[in-house]
């Protein structure tokens, strides 16, 4: 059960009936079209102490992501790759129904789906983050904090993660003659190969919508997130919620999301270049 | 990178691209459980128990209009090459959630208000595709427990290995291949209940892998049916009347 959303069975059923009625006329409570995103606002470089950071607003949903880069040991099964760790938390200040405590299954799923998109799109060339193979590598930690929930945490968290990684800088480290890791004065960016874009859609009744709000998520049957790389390939996906999609709906989602991803990529790139200009 | 498909088009375990690993399902393997099953799919060995419908503890979890479905996917420490610490990992927590959400659409939980149904999956030996094998086995265990169901749920992964779309990835193909996409469906209602993708596919490959996984699900469904028929109608009498 979504910790950040209050569910009441009676209200849920009433709302759902109302929502389905509205959606059958292709209308949404906030007057958006079925395939329209809410305004997406991306600001980067918002935390000076972080190597990279981004605040993302998707309508009233607000998240902030910060990147910290350290020197660490690689995973035993990938000795020649740097580390990437994505964590997500819905902070208690994010909604009346969020509670403090360790990440619950929703937050864990959120972090893992965001991580999968960044990792599988090969956004960061992790093979370039190795100092001593098998022993010392750069470790990129991305922490996503949800500040205000109003649905579609998956996409908002993904955009914040991607924008913060794309604008991260770090001191260049090197291995000296004695095999010690030393920090140089040179500041370098992360080796970025492309910008992955996550698109989340929801099925309510027979209608598919993009970028669901909290109200829509409270009554949705199923949720599906797909992540696309720059060439329009799929690199991660996750169906969520105890509802189903039929085969045609899956194909419709794949086709629609691909188009939407292109549109959102421009917004993310805009947020990233804003930062580069200073 | 190791060659995962040879010049004859055969995979490291000798399978063709659209071939399943050996599959075996047994029903009613644990006496205490209300329903149980055991599945072997390739090197996967998974035992599933269903307890319920039963009283809900803690009580505040109870729902007035339906049963609460709970699910725990857990890997035994000895199930993998490197010992897996027994406490649930983030991966296991996510998989428990997606398995629960894959099974829930098939269950008529509204038949059992104010109760809980617990599904416990123990992976005794892990190979690629353990969540799919786990879902397939769980549906059988739920049927064995006599829970009212709309349809069975059956799962299988497809993915991409050495540039080719292949079915039912084993552990090495999962780790070293380009993409893995677990899919679960309700085979009679034609609904997708689980879809995950980990890795890169073009839109055409996505469609091909999706079709391949769905066709395999229908084959696995027949094995589920036969396993249940064998238990409830005796061996040899399974199948059509």
What confidence tens digit (pLDDT) does each residue in B40-78 have?
999 999 999 999 999 999 999 999 999 999 999 999 999
How many domains are contained in chain A?
1
What residues of A are in contact with residue B197 (Cβ under 8 Å)? 226, 234-238
Strand segments, DSSP code E, in B1-153 are: 23-27, 35-41, 44-54, 68-75, 116-125
Helix (H, G, I), strand (E, B) or coil at B65: coil
Residue A9 lies in a domain: no
Q: What is the ipTM of this complex?
A: 0.83
Cross-strand bridge partners of residue A148:
A62
pLDDT at A6 over 90: no
Note the pTM of the prediction, 2 decimals.
0.89
Mean per-residue pLDDT of chain B: 94
Please state which of the ranges A21-30, A187-196, B10-19, B188-197 shows the lowest mean pLDDT.
A21-30
Which chain A residue lies closest to B185 (C-alpha atoms)? Answer: A244
Q: What is the pLDDT of residues A204-245, one digit of tens each?
A: 999 999 999 999 999 999 999 999 999 999 999 999 999 999
Q: How far is B108 from chain A (nearest CA, A)?
A: 12
Residues of B with CB under 8 A from a CB of A: 63-65, 69, 82, 90-91, 93-94, 96-98, 100-101, 104-105, 175, 179, 181, 186, 189-203, 206-207, 210, 214
Residue A174 lies in a domain: yes
Residue A227 lies in a domain: yes
Predicted confidence at residue B95, as pLDDT, reads 98
Predicted confidence at residue A10, as pLDDT, reads 75
pLDDT at A162 over 80: yes
Q: Domain residues for A143?
A: 28-277
The answer to whether B188 and B181 have CB atoms below 8 angstroms apart is no
- Which tops the pLDDT comparison, B24 or B237? B24
Residue A20 lies in a domain: no
Tell me if B90 and A224 make a contact (CB, 8 A cut-off): no
Predicted confidence at residue A12, as pLDDT, reads 76
CATH of the domain at A186: 3.30.230.70
Tell me if B97 and A245 make a contact (CB, 8 A cut-off): no
Residue A224 lies in a domain: yes
- Domain with residues B23-232, CATH architecture: 2-Layer Sandwich (3.30)
- Could you tell me the residue ranges of all domains in chain B? 23-232
Q: Please give the average per-residue pLDDT across B120-140, as a whole number.
A: 97
Predicted confidence at residue A238, as pLDDT, reads 97
Q: Which of the four pLDDT bands, split at 50, 70 and 90, describes residue A269? A: very high
Q: Which of the four pLDDT bands, split at 50, 70 and 90, describes residue A5? A: low
Please state which of the ranges B108-117, B128-137, B229-238 shows the lowest mean pLDDT.
B229-238
Tell me if A237 and B181 make a contact (CB, 8 A cut-off): yes
pLDDT at A246 over 80: yes
CA nearest to A54, candidates A276, A271, A273, A278: A271
Residue A8 lies in a domain: no
CA B112, B113, B115, B121 dihedral sign is positive
Q: Please give the average per-residue pLDDT across A145-159, as a whole number.
A: 96
Predicted confidence at residue B1, as pLDDT, reads 52
Tell me if B198 and A116 make a contact (CB, 8 A cut-off): yes
What residues of B are in contact with residue A106 (Cβ under 8 Å)? 97
Tell me if B203 and A111 make a contact (CB, 8 A cut-off): no
Residue A189 lies in a domain: yes
Predicted confidence at residue B2, as pLDDT, reads 61
Q: How far is B24 from chain A (nearest CA, A)?
A: 27
Q: How far is B76 from chain A (nearest CA, A)?
A: 20
Q: How far is A143 from chain B (nearest CA, A)?
A: 15
Predicted confidence at residue B241, as pLDDT, reads 41
Residue A144 lies in a domain: yes
pLDDT at B143 over 50: yes
Q: What is the pLDDT of residues A50-71, one digit of tens each?
A: 999 999 999 999 999 999 999 9
Q: Quick one: what percent of chain A has pLDDT higher than 70?
A: 95
CA distances from B117 to A156, A223, B109, B110, B228 (A): 34, 24, 9, 12, 20
Q: Please give the average per-residue pLDDT across A87-113, as a whole number.
A: 90
């Amino acid at each position: 059960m979504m910790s950040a959303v209050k569910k009441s069975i009676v209200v849920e059923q009433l709302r759902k009936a109302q929502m389905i009625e509205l959606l059958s006329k292709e209308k949404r409570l906030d007057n958006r079209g079925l395939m329209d995103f809410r305004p997406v606002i991306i600001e980067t470089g918002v935390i000076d102490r972080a190597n990279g950071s981004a605040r993302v607003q998707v309508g009233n949903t607000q998240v902030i992501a910060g990147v910290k880069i350290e020197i660490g040991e690689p995973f035993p099964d990938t000795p020649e790759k740097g580390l990437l760790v994505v964590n997500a938390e819905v902070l208690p200040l994010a909604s009346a129904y969020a509670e403090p405590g360790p990440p619950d299954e929703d937050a864990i799923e959120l972090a893992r789906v965001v991580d999968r998109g960044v990792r599988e799109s090969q956004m960061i060339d992790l093979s370039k983050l190795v100092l001593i193979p098998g022993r010392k590598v750069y470790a990129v930690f991305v922490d996503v904090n949800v500040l205000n929930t109003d649905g579609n945490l998956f996409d908002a968290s993904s955009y914040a993660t991607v924008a913060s990684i794309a604008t991260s800088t770090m001191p260049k480290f090197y291995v000296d003659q004695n095999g010690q890791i030393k920090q140089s004065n040179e500041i370098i960016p992360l080796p970025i190969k492309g910008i992955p874009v996550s698109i989340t859609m929801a099925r309510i009744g027979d209608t598919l919508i993009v970028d669901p709000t909290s109200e829509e998520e409270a009554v949705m049957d199923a949720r599906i997130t797909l992540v696309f790389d720059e060439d329009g390939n799929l690199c991660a996906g996750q169906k969520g919620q105890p509802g189903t999609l039929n085969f045609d709906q899956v194909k419709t989602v794949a086709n629609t999301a691909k188009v939407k991803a292109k549109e959102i990529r421009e917004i993310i790139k805009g947020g990233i270049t804003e930062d580069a200009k200073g | 990178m190791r060659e995962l498909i040879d010049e004859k088009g055969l995979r490291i375990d000798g399978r063709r691209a659209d071939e399943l690993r050996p599959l075996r399902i047994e029903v009613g393997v644990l006496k205490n459980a209300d329903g149980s099953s055991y599945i072997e799919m390739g090197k996967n060995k998974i035992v599933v128990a269903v307890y319920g419908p039963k009283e809900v503890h803690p009580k505040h979890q109870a729902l007035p209009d339906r049963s609460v479905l709970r699910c725990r996917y857990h890997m035994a420490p000895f199930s993998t090459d490197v010992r897996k610490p027994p406490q649930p990992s983030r991966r296991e927590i996510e998989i428990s959630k997606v398995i629960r959400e894959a099974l829930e659409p098939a269950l008529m939980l509204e038949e059992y208000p104010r109760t809980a149904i617990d599904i416990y999956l123990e992976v005794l030996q892990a190979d690629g595709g353990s969540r799919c094998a786990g879902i397939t086995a769980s549906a059988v265990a739920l049927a064995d427990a006599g829970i009212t169901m709309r349809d069975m749920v059956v799962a299988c992964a497809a993915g991409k290995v050495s540039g080719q779309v292949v079915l039912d990835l084993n552990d090495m193909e999962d780790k070293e291949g380009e993409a893995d996409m677990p899919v679960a469906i309700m085979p009679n209602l034609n609904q997708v209940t689980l879809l995950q993708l980990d890795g890169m596919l073009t839109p055409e490959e996505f469609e091909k892998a999706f079709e391949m996984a769905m066709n395999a699900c229908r084959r696995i469904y027949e094995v589920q049916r036969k396993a249940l028929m064998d238990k409830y109608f005796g061996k040899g009498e399974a199948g059509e009347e």
